[in-house]
A = this chain, B = another copy of it.
Amino acid sequence: MDSIQTGSGKVKQIPEAVIKRLPVYHRYLTELAKRDVERISSPELAAKIGITASQLRQDLSCFGSFGHQGYGYRIHELLGEISRILGLENEIPMVLVGVGHLGRAILSYPNFKDKKFGFIAIFDNNPLIIGEIIEEIPVLAITELESYLIKNNVEVGVITTPISAAQEVANLLIQGGVRGIWNFAPLALKVPDSVVVEHVHISESLLELSFKLQQKRLKS
């Protein structure tokens, strides 16, 4: 499923495990770039992240050669490559549907302000909220969603509605032509294969925490 275009125009499968690490690389490199660090070697970066240098170099080699022998990686350069690989070069036009606490939290998430994710509109069905401006973005009526999506070539829709509305909103987003859905409602959305869905299961990580605490309890 997941692949990257190589020089020859061929397409290569990227292991899911590698895909999961790319955002982590992006995060650490962004951090280093912010601190104006110029270069880093694979063992240094790997140690920070908590993986092996081999794994880091192996992962990067899926996409090309971004290092310099005897020197390491120029952080600015590598961050640029990872950003390109992640598709962050061009702004992704996004809308958010559902202005609850979670929706507001995402709209004000500090990481998004500098990244290339552009919320261009917000939708809700509550007349008291419609017309409000949140983080400089206007809240529009849900009835305008579909036409807005088509008119503005929106690529990604974020669902932060209650469960009860989520599938309906997903349908509207798909009819409006979005290519991806970032879903925070805790249910499995039904979507066509052509649409990419990323589901954030907030509670899963709490169950993992619970499991790990339980393990510690048993061991001692």
Contact = CB atoms under 8 A, between A and B. Distances in A.
Contact of A203 (B109, B163, B186, B218): B109
A115 B204 CA distance: 12
Nearest to A217: B87
Contact of A180 (B101, B110, B198, B212): B212
Contacts of A27: 201, 204
Interface string A158-181: 000011000000000000000110
B3 A115 contact: no
Q: How many copies does the complex hold?
A: 2
A108 B202 CA distance: 13
A140 to B, nearest CB: 20
Contact of A102 (B102, B204, B209): B102
B109 A208 contact: no
Nearest to A116: B210
A206 interface: yes
A120 to B, nearest CB: 15
A65 interface: no
Contacts of A211: 2, 19, 22-23, 85-87
Contacts of A213: 87, 92, 155-156, 179-180, 196
B182 A111 contact: no
Interface in A83-126: 85-88, 92, 100-102, 104-106, 108-112, 115, 117
Q: Residue among A179, A203, A207, A213 with the most chain B CB within 10 A?
A: A207
A200 interface: yes
B203 A182 contact: no
A218 B87 CA distance: 10
Top 7 A-B residue pairs of the complex, sorted by shortest distance between their CB atoms: A87-B214, A101-B105, A23-B207, A102-B105, A23-B204, A198-B209, A101-B104
